[in-house]
Structure 1
Amino acid sequence: MCGINGFTFANEQLIRRMNKEIRHRGPDDEGIYVDKNISLGNQRLAIIDLSPKGHMPMVDDLRRFVITFNGEIYNFQELRTGLEKRGYRFRSGSDSEVILKLFGEYGEKAFVKLNGMFALAIWDKQEKKLVMVRDRVGIKPLYYTIHRRQLLFSSEIKAFMVHGLNDSLEKNHIDLYMLLGYVPAPYTVYSNIFKVLPGEMVVWKAGKLIKRMFWELPNSEARLTDKARAKEQLFLKTEAAVKRQLVSDRPLGIFLSGGIDSTTVLALATKIRGEPLDTFTIGFSEVAEAEKFNADFELAKKSAHYYGSSHHAFMLSPKQALNDFRELVAKMDEPIANPTHIPTFALARETAKYVTVLLGGDGGDELFYGYDRYFHSWLMDIYRRLPSWLGEGKLEIVVSWLSRDKSLIRRELRAKSNAEKYLLLMGRNQAELKKIYKIEVGGVDKLLSELRGFRDKGEFHQLLPKIDFSHWLPEESLMRSDKMTMLHSLEQRVPLLDNTLIDLASQIPFQWKVGWRLRKKILRETFAGILPTFIVQQPKRGFFSPGAKWLRDKHWQKFLKEIFSRQIVKALGLFDHKGLQRVVGDHLSGKRYNNDLIWSAFFLHSWYANHT
């Protein structure tokens, strides 16, 4: 795991300064490569082959290709064996060298062969061409911009600022953020800084950008008909994925949330290793309804005891949470309006004292449909199929199954585009948002309609998981995990997002995943034999934080008042100060629940105050 930087001209001082900005991503080693038309940088967190032979940027034997690479390739041994049969010889045990030689052999067709998480750039000295690639899921981030007619790229936006880049905020992109809580790729909150899409290859040659996908998420057309066979394959492929990701030359542990995904990873890892592993979890102290917020914390402790793990449990107080928030928001490239950043940051800080590599259960909800919104959208599509002569009665059938306001359901049913449906299902309360912020929903709808998943045809309940997988998962969930763990030089791996599991999950019928009472039905059935009953039968709650309670804490209220001061609100220039004060007051008094909306504005203003 590393941090990578680069630009398309020669300047040793600037590339070293870029490296310094992202040193936390790889404090073990610094490397640069500077030639006439290129500067590449790397900050290495050594995980596989700790020797100096894994130093990057790495140059191939013919001195034509140079790579700077962030990530882990879990099938690199298999790929290496294939290359050795073709006559290649290796001087290190690193996966970086495998990618370099694979590219030399297969060119741009090499990337689809990689099973892992990665963001990388390869300079072709002969063609004077730079190739940038992000893994098929988007586990690792990669940004780029064009500045003074030259291309810059980095693992983190902050590294661009050493070039004197002063890009303006883009209002349409902030509209996206205020509605969704994050900015989907390829956009960022800036006008001229972009994210490489998951599964995308971006090529810079002769001053021009060429973009193309090297991988697309398979269509969710069910092809499996034998459920017993599907469960057998799911068990074997998940076990193999966990085994691949247990390979590390540094100490390794597991983030245990108390849910079925991370507990499945723990169960399989314990089975494979044949010995107890270190597990880590976090809970909340000094908060009202602590029992509710710590339910999964307690389940994690029970699971750790069940598997004999060496368990490390940490508690987070409101005051410490505020201190952590102040620190992390100052270091974030963009605002992401989710207070679970805070416990993730705190857990990473404590975990890094014991291990360097952490396995988690990310991706299980998106692949096996753990969110209630998948059930919701399925029922809505069933409604649309019902005959019109049923009249109002058919709406009552749907309402009885959904804990959702009838008027909002009516609006969802009237929605025409996939983007409009998604915003009504996932977005912030637009009526409340308009009281504090001038939102252009039509512009957001247009931006979303151009993105993957939104432009596809079909019933919405089939498209929604693809939209989540393409946008929510990489740019909210995985981005949060990457940024919060790498701030503490901690590598997080996600076995459930192995290539083989993504391919298998795309062939599993919707009804095998979504049950009437419990979600991720096939996952529960498959691993029931190795999981404790209290995990198999536990409904999903998700890893969340008492953000709404924290806002009522005296320390947080003082900071909230400071961030929402007239001076900061006016400086950002996007919000109505009086309206904002009213929305916050309604929430704190209990008159109206505005937690998501307040956190969106709070993160944005806090981030802005630290980055201007």
Structure 2
Amino acid sequence: MCGIAGEISFQGNASTYHVDAMLNNLAPRGPDGWGVAAQGNICFGHQRLKVIDLTSAGAQPMHDAKLGLTIVFNGCIYNYKALRRELEQLGHQFFSTSDTEVILKAYAQWQEQCMNRFNGMFSFAIWHRDSNSTFFARDRLGIKPLYYYHNQQGFWFSSTLPSLLKCAEVPSELSPLGVHQYMSFRAIVGSDTLFSGVKKLLPGHWLRVSAQGEVEQGRYWQLNTVVDDENSRSEQDWQQALKTALFTSTKRRLEADVPVGVLLSGGVDSSLLVGMLSELGVKHLHTFSIGFDNVADEEGNEFKYSDIIASHYDTEHNKIFAQHETLLTHLRPCIEAMSEPMVSHDVIGFYLLSKAVSEHVKVVQSGQGADEVFAGYHWYPPMTDTSNDEAAECYAKSYFSWDEAGLAQVLAPEYCVSNESLKLVQHYFASCSSQLPVDKALHLDTAVMLVDDPVKRVDNMTMAFGLEARVPFLDHELVELAFQMPHQLKLRDGGKYLLKQVAREIIPAAVIDRPKGYFPVPALRQMQGEYLEMAKEAFSQPVARQRKLFNLKYIDAMLAAPEHYTGKFGSKLWQVTLLELWLQQHNIQ
């Protein structure tokens, strides 16, 4: 896993100036190496984290003179060894043992069809010398990011939004749609970003850019919507199929030339990963948990559950306790590491955990995605009792942080784009061929919401310390299997029923039959004391007053009584404060 950046000039030769600036911002993602290659109107840059092929032969940008191809790549192809053998049989010769070179040869052999053969997480750019065109692709579930901007002068891309903004050509004008999505979804989703004209390459898509500036885009994968609800498989059949797929996915993600650990929250998902890795024969597994200070009656850790798993499997367990002072002093560096503003309270947990984990291993497995894929959230059961006509409104009632009336109060008028977030959900549900509202909601969450919140959160926070995070629950074959399952096998007994049934065969019941938990960070839910002072300081800055993003009279009311502004997903004051802090941290005027 690494950081990539580049420039394609439509007006002459490319310069290393902007690429150097972007790479400097990406340095934490790839602390083991650095490279820039410029030729004609193309300049590629790469920050390397050594995980597979630790030699210089695996360095990037990687060029194959015989094929006339140059690549920069971020991610990991888990089946690269099998693909290499296939490509060798087709006559290709290799100069490295890296998965990067496998992508290069696979593209030469199969062009845009090559992604269908990859099992992994990836975003990459390949320059073709003979056609002077550049090909981009992103993995099926958007685990690896890719941001870009283009105008008549050129095309610029990077692994993160703050890095891309280091290029002076990229505008930083706030998008009303992006702001509306952030306030509603707690994330900016799809191809949109917080800034007008700046885009993300969608998951499961490719992009081709010519030297003249012509941009062509295509889709190579789409999450299936056909549910096998004709009772052709018994519950036991589904359970066995799921168990097999889970072990296959977890084993794939052991592919590395360095040790692999696990982020162990104490929940069923991460505990199941530890159990499966143990059954796969992994010895002396490193596991990591984090906890925080209690606030009032709210407990700040779940060590009692992670301790059960660590003890049961005799892991090399590391417990990190983040005291109040640690949390406070690391909040701004955590915000600096966010590619886009991330309001979830547990983001600071991932940041501090990643900081500690990076001192022990370079690769970890994480349980992200299981709640979306296997229906672990509270907003799914209501979707079983609504009609297709009312499905979007039912989803919004449970999922949105703010309703339109609230947004009209907190946002300045120019950012009150009426019902745009609801319209997105309505359009998605209308175009999704799933028959039932609950299946439409699961599809939306897995294909869209998951990408730009939990998955991005883990990528950004781990990569802030050169740590590669792998997410076995988002293996595309596992996800495709899950979306064939009838929703009843997911929602039963409080959610994730079938996943928990598999877990009962592997891990102690004490971590399965427990209340659902998260990384608890009480201080950010309460917004009192020094955290409230931090919010007041942020909104007292001249830039916050001049920005004209918020209705500052309403913000002042929130600052005066934060306890009155709490929603389903925590403190609303924290949400607006986080956005303002992120903009200030990245010098957005």
Determine if the alignment matches structure 1 residue 520 to structure 2 residue 531. no
Structure 1 or 2: more helix by fraction = 1
Matched residue type, 2:159: S
Paired with 2:326 and 2:282, the residues of 1 have a C-alpha distance of: 37
Give yes or no for contact 2:290–2:353 (8 Å, CA) kept in 1.
yes
Q: Report the more deviating stretch, 419-428 or 522-531.
A: 419-428
Matched residue type, 1:269: L
Determine if the alignment matches structure 1 residue 219 to structure 2 residue 192. no
Paired with 1:544 and 1:134, the residues of 2 have a C-alpha distance of: 32
Alignment match of 1:262 (pick from 270, 274, 294): 270
**Distance apart, 1:578 and its partner CA:** 1.7
**Distance apart, 1:20 and its partner CA:** 1.6
Paired with 2:348 and 2:441, the residues of 1 have a C-alpha distance of: 28
What is the number of equivalent residue pairs in this alignment? 574
Aligned position for 1:388: none
Give yes or no for contact 1:362–1:496 (8 Å, CA) kept in 2.
yes
Give yes or no for contact 2:527–2:571 (8 Å, CA) kept in 1.
no
Q: Report the more deviating stretch, 169-178 or 417-426.
A: 417-426
Alignment CA distance shift 1:473-1:193 (3 Å): same
**Distance apart, 1:569 and its partner CA:** 3.5
**1:98-247 equivalences in 2 (<5 Å):** 98-164=102-168, 165-205=170-210, 206-222=212-228, 225-247=233-255
Alignment CA distance shift 1:274-1:162 (3 Å): closer
**1:451-466 equivalences in 2 (<5 Å):** 452=428, 455-457=431-433, 458-466=435-443
Give yes or no for contact 2:345–2:524 (8 Å, CA) kept in 1.
no
Determine if the alignment matches structure 1 residue 441 to structure 2 residue 418. yes
Q: Report the more deviating stretch, 425-434 or 595-604.
A: 425-434
Aligned position for 2:31: 27
Aligned position for 1:389: none
- Output one character per residue of 1:314-368: Cα deviation in whole Å (capped at 9) or x when no partner: 1122332122111122343321221211111111111111111111111111111
- Output one character per residue of 1:487-532: Cα deviation in whole Å (capped at 9) or x when no partner: 11111011111122112112111111111x3311111112312110
Matched residue type, 1:527: A
**Distance apart, 1:303 and its partner CA:** 1.1
Q: Report the more deviating stretch, 345-354 or 578-587.
A: 578-587
Give yes or no for contact 2:57–2:96 (8 Å, CA) kept in 1.
yes
Give yes or no for contact 2:8–2:154 (8 Å, CA) kept in 1.
yes
**Distance apart, 1:254 and its partner CA:** 0.5
Alignment CA distance shift 1:453-1:122 (3 Å): farther
Matched residue type, 1:304: A
Matched residue type, 1:238: L
Alignment CA distance shift 1:226-1:587 (3 Å): same
Q: Report the 3-state secondary structure (helix = DSSP H, G, I; strand = E; otherwise coil) of the residue aligned with 1:489.
A: coil
- Output one character per residue of 1:352-410: Cα deviation in whole Å (capped at 9) or x when no partner: 111111111111111111112111211x23xx5xxxxxxxxxxxxxxxxxxxxxxxxxx
Matched residue type, 2:243: F
- Segments of 5+ residues of structure 1 without an aligned counterpart are 385-414
Aligned position for 1:534: 510
**1:51-450 equivalences in 2 (<5 Å):** 51-164=55-168, 165-205=170-210, 206-222=212-228, 225-291=233-299, 293-294=300-301, 296-378=302-384, 380-381=385-386, 384=387, 416=389, 419-430=392-403, 431-437=405-411, 438=413, 439-449=416-426
Give yes or no for contact 1:184–1:475 (8 Å, CA) kept in 2.
yes
Paired with 1:287 and 1:425, the residues of 2 have a C-alpha distance of: 26
Give yes or no for contact 2:184–2:401 (8 Å, CA) kept in 1.
yes
Give yes or no for contact 2:382–2:394 (8 Å, CA) kept in 1.
no
Aligned position for 1:496: 473
**Distance apart, 1:23 and its partner CA:** 0.9
Matched residue type, 2:345: P
Alignment CA distance shift 1:220-1:424 (3 Å): farther
Paired with 1:453 and 1:138, the residues of 2 have a C-alpha distance of: 20
Give yes or no for contact 2:295–2:523 (8 Å, CA) kept in 1.
no
Matched residue type, 1:77: K
- Output one character per residue of 1:258-303: Cα deviation in whole Å (capped at 9) or x when no partner: 1111111100111213423110010112532253x32x33201111
**Distance apart, 1:593 and its partner CA:** 8.5
Alignment CA distance shift 1:566-1:143 (3 Å): closer
Alignment CA distance shift 1:577-1:13 (3 Å): closer
Give yes or no for contact 2:249–2:473 (8 Å, CA) kept in 1.
yes
Aligned position for 2:553: 578
Matched residue type, 1:2: C
TM-score normalised over the length of structure 1:
0.89
**Distance apart, 1:91 and its partner CA:** 1.5
Q: Report the more deviating stretch, 176-185 or 591-600.
A: 591-600
Paired with 1:267 and 1:255, the residues of 2 have a C-alpha distance of: 13
Alignment CA distance shift 1:434-1:566 (3 Å): farther
Paired with 1:592 and 1:270, the residues of 2 have a C-alpha distance of: 40
**Distance apart, 1:591 and its partner CA:** 9.4
Alignment CA distance shift 1:547-1:277 (3 Å): same
Paired with 1:521 and 1:220, the residues of 2 have a C-alpha distance of: 20
Aligned position for 1:406: none
- Segments of 5+ residues of structure 2 without an aligned counterpart are none
**Distance apart, 1:54 and its partner CA:** 0.3
Aligned position for 1:397: none
Give yes or no for contact 2:286–2:317 (8 Å, CA) kept in 1.
yes
Alignment match of 2:482 (pick from 493, 502, 505): 505
Matched residue type, 1:424: K
TM-score normalised over the length of structure 2:
0.93
Alignment CA distance shift 1:592-1:65 (3 Å): closer
RMSD: 2.1
